[in-house]
């Protein structure tokens, strides 16, 4: 059953809309006047000397997660490239030399000019191999081909740039938990 919502009764001045137009103009002019007369209240940064503080969960440039031995966690299942609406991820699989892993990416490229930073690749990945938490939100290059990042660029990150609570990042080479994770990985129990 539908709910009937009664329309409000408008006065004659409201029906002509002139009063409402002037109320809106007064509000806009008031904001503009306050901005021009009190510039100390504006929230600005001296960019690029002062970089903005980007939250950890902001969708920024991608990175590939690493196993404790430094190899990518990606198993070349193509779930991220299948889920990507912009079709900006290119993966070429090869056979892995590890008996516990069937495939690994030989080529893993992301075209940042096509990427819409939706995060569907991160959501689709079954083994948490790709993340978008690098805090690199401002990407500037002088040629289009430099916006295509390859596997080596995606693996080029340091565990100390990520919080200690991020266990998977800290298990990567150079991380706080790498020694124990590497021992478990080499014994075969940490796959």
Q: Exposed, middle or buried: residue 63 (CB in 10 Å: 0-12, 13-18, 19+)?
A: buried
| Nearest of 62, 63, 68 to residue 174 by alpha carbon | 68
Residue 85 within any structural domain of the chain: yes
Residue 2 within any structural domain of the chain: no
pTM comes to 0.75
> Distance between CA atoms of 82 and 182, rounded to whole angstroms?
31
Residue 182 within any structural domain of the chain: no
Residue 139's domain spans which residues? 63-157
Concatenated DSSP letters of 29-72:
HHHHHHHHH-GGGS----TTTS-----TTS--S-EE-B-TTSSB
Give pLDDT tens digits along the chain (191 positions).
789 999 988 888 778 888 889 999 999 999 999 989 988 888 888 888 988 889 988 999 999 999 999 999 999 999 999 999 999 999 999 999 888 889 999 999 999 999 999 999 999 999 999 999 999 988 899 999 999 999 999 999 999 999 999 999 999 999 999 999 999 888 876 55
CATH of the domain at 150: 3.30.70.3270
Number of structural domains in the chain: 1
Residue 88 within any structural domain of the chain: yes
Is 74:105 a contact under the CB 8 Å cutoff? Answer: yes
| Structure token digits, residue 170 | 């800290």
Residue 29 within any structural domain of the chain: no
The helix/strand/coil state of 109 is strand
Residue 82 within any structural domain of the chain: yes
| Structure token digits, residue 68 | 């404790």
Residue 143 within any structural domain of the chain: yes
Is 84:106 a contact under the CB 8 Å cutoff? Answer: no
Residue 33 within any structural domain of the chain: no
């Amino acid at each position: 059953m539908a709910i009937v919502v009664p329309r409000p009764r408008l006065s004659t001045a409201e029906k002509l809309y002139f009063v409402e137009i002037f109320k809106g103009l007064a509000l806009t002019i008031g904001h503009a006047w306050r901005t021009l007369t009190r510039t100390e209240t504006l929230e600005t940064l001296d960019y690029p000397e002062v970089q903005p503080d980007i939250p950890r969960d902001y969708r920024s440039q991608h990175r590939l997660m690493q196993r404790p031995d430094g190899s990518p966690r990606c198993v070349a299942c193509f779930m991220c490239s299948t889920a990507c609406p912009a079709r900006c991820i290119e993966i070429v699989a090869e056979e892995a030399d590890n008996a516990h892993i069937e495939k690994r990416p030989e080529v893993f490229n992301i075209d940042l000019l096509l990427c819409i930073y939706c995060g569907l690749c991160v959501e689709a990945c079954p083994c948490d191999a790709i993340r978008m938490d690098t805090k690199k939100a401002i990407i500037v290059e002088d040629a289009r081909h430099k916006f295509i990042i390859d596997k080596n660029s995606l693996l080029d990150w340091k565990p100390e740039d990520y919080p200690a609570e991020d266990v998977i990042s800290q298990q990567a080479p150079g991380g706080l938990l790498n020694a124990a994770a590497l021992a478990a990985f080499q014994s075969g129990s940490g796959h």
